[in-house]
């Protein structure tokens, strides 16, 4: 990073009618007197949590050797970011087991994943689980950002009632709980997420007018950008232009989907406009790209992402799996089903790898967004046919601002609580509380980059 005498506030926005566009970290935001303190010594740390449903084909997931990472077939798409990846095995979520509550393995799997608390079995509104690690992080890391956290998904959360043997659908609709009784909704519409990130300027009427007139959000901030560019050096102008180009490219993708949908008039309050891509790949990548922009502009430092609800019936004909994901996961050791199962898992990991590569390619201070982030990917079920909650499929990616040494497969003692990993992640992100999370028994040892 170049140290400059000029200083812009880190929280700098380009504003216009119906738009408020946060800027990425620029050299001009780092005054000479505090440059070292604000870059190398105090990088901005970020956390992300990505949930996959219905477990995994563990025989093709788990690396064959411990130590230096040899990628398994399912994990092979991670090759471009292999040095930023740790595969932890042996971790478990025992609180997802029945404990006298009978069936309901899927609801408990997602309900427990980020808190380690056995959820209350109920079909009513009296749901109870535990405050999740993402929301603990948001309370600490989100004090200086427009959004404390961002909760997104690829399936809607409108399902209500009994979804799994006496468990409310709430437990599969979300993986984020602000309090033990406050589950957070997860947004699956890219337009809603885009407007939440960048459409807060002006009045609701101005935002509605911009959308109805099919104007870019960049049109609204053009004058503000022109004034700012006169004050920026060449490097900052290049970085800003790359960022704005990325915003515009994502906006165009959303507009194409909306045009193809033939959605007609937009809702008056823009609360839930149409425009969900038909393609799972496009939907997933679009949401990941929105999250990258949110990190880059420091709109939020914490996100949760639900790839699919437990028991999802999503099919994947694009990779040769026309059957529903949930039914495929009940493979009964059938070779054909196991192969389909592995194809779904590999497909999801490939999309994750694209996101990690985009973080690696995005500058942030003296490194990249991937260098400064910790991203946990995985689920609350291992073998979907057995509904097992032992030896969970997990991927830990990123540098954690120098706090994590990648390129390794680390095997922990069987039945080590996954909450020990969550506590370690909070520690690496500078979140000092709590001392215990759910059924944790300590903090998992994660080697820093210098080890």
- Catalogue all structural domains in the chain, each as residue range(s) with its CATH number: 1-42+189-275 (no CATH), 47-186+304-361+375-451 (3.40.720)
255-279: pLDDT as tens digits: 888 887 654 444 444 444 456 898 9
- Helix pair 234-261, 280-296: axis angle to 10 deg: 150
* pLDDT (tens digit per residue) in 179-233: 999 999 999 999 999 988 987 654 555 555 655 555 678 887 888 888 888 888 8
The answer to whether 389 and 414 have CB atoms below 8 angstroms apart is no
Task: Give the mean model confidence (pLDDT) for residues 332-354.
Answer: 97
Terminal CA-to-CA distance of the chain, rounded, Å?
25
Alpha-carbon distance of 182 to 170, in angstroms, equals 10
Each residue's pLDDT tens digit, 26-35:
888 876 434 4
pLDDT of residue 14: 81
Spatial separation of the C-alpha atoms in residues 44 and 144, rounded to whole Å:
11
Asked whether the bond before 218 is cis by omega within 30 degrees of 0, the reply is no
Structure token digits, residue 305: 């992402």
DSSP state at residue 83: G
Using DSSP bridges, classify how beta strands 177-179 and 182-183 pair: parallel, antiparallel or unpaired.
Answer: antiparallel
Angle at 369 between CA 309 and CA 285, to 5 degrees: 35
Contacts of 100 (CB under 8 A, 6+ apart): none
Q: Does the predicted TM-score (pTM) go above 0.85?
A: yes
Please give the pLDDT value at position 261: 66
Residues 433, 440 contacting (CB under 8 angstroms): no
Q: In which band, very low, low, confident or very high, does the pLDDT at 427 lie, cut at 50, 70 and 90?
A: very high
Strands (E), 307-407: 363-364, 367-368, 373-378, 394-397
User: What one-character DSSP code corresponds to residue 72?
Assistant: -
What residues contact residue 42 under an 8 Å CB cut-off, 6+ apart?
Answer: none
Which pair of tokens denotes residue 235?
A: 């490097």
């Amino acid at each position: 990073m170049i140290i400059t005498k000029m200083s812009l506030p880190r929280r700098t926005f380009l504003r216009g009618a119906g738009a408020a566009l946060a800027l990425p970290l620029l050299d001009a935001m780092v005054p000479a007197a505090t440059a070292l303190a604000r870059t190398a010594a105090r990088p901005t740390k970020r956390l992300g949590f990505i949930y996959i449903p219905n477990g995994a084909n563990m025989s093709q997931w788990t690396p064959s050797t411990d130590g230096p990472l040899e990628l398994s077939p399912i994990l092979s798409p991670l090759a471009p970011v292999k040095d930023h990846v740790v595969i932890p095995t042996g971790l478990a979520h025992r609180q997802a087991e029945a404990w006298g509550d009978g069936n309901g393995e899927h609801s408990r799997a997602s309900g427990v994943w980020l808190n380690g608390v056995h959820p209350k079995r109920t079909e009513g509104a009296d749901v109870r689980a535990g405050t999740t690690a993402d929301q603990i992080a948001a309370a600490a890391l989100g004090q200086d950002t427009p959004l404390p956290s961002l909760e997104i998904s690829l399936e809607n959360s409108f399902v209500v009632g009994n979804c799994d043997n006496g468990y409310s659908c709430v437990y599969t609709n979300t993986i984020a709980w602000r309090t033990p009784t406050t589950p957070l909704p997860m947004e699956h519409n890219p337009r809603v997420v885009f407007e939440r990130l960048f459409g807060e300027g002006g009045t609701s009427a101005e935002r509605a007018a911009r959308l109805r007139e099919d104007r870019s959000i960049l049109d609204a901030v053009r004058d503000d950008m022109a004034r700012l560019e006169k004050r920026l050096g060449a490097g900052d102008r290049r970085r800003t232009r790359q960022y704005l180009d990325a915003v515009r490219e994502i906006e165009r993708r959303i507009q194409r989907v909306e045009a193809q949908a033939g959605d007609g008039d937009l809702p008056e309050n823009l609360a839930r406009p149409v425009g969900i891509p038909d393609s799972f790949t496009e939907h997933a990548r679009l949401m990941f790209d929105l999250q990258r922009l949110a990190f880059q502009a420091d709109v939020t430092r914490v996100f949760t992402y639900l790839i699919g609800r437990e028991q999802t019936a999503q099919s994947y004909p694009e990779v040769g799996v026309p059957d529903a994901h949930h039914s495929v996961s009940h493979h009964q050791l059938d070779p054909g089903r196991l192969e389909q199962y592995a194809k779904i898992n590999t497909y999801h990991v490939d999309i994750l790898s694209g996101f990690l590569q985009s973080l690696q390619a995005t500058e942030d201070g003296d490194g990249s967004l991937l260098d400064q982030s910790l991203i946990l990917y995985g689920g609350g079920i291992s073998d979907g046919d057995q509904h097992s909650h032992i030896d969970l499929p997990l991927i830990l990616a990123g540098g954690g601002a120098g706090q994590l040494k990648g390129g390794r497969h680390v095997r922990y003692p069987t039945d080590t609580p996954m909450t020990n990993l969550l506590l370690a992640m909070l520690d690496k992100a500078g979140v000092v509380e709590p001392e215990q999370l759910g059924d944790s028994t300590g903090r998992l040892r994660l080697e820093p980059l210098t080890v």
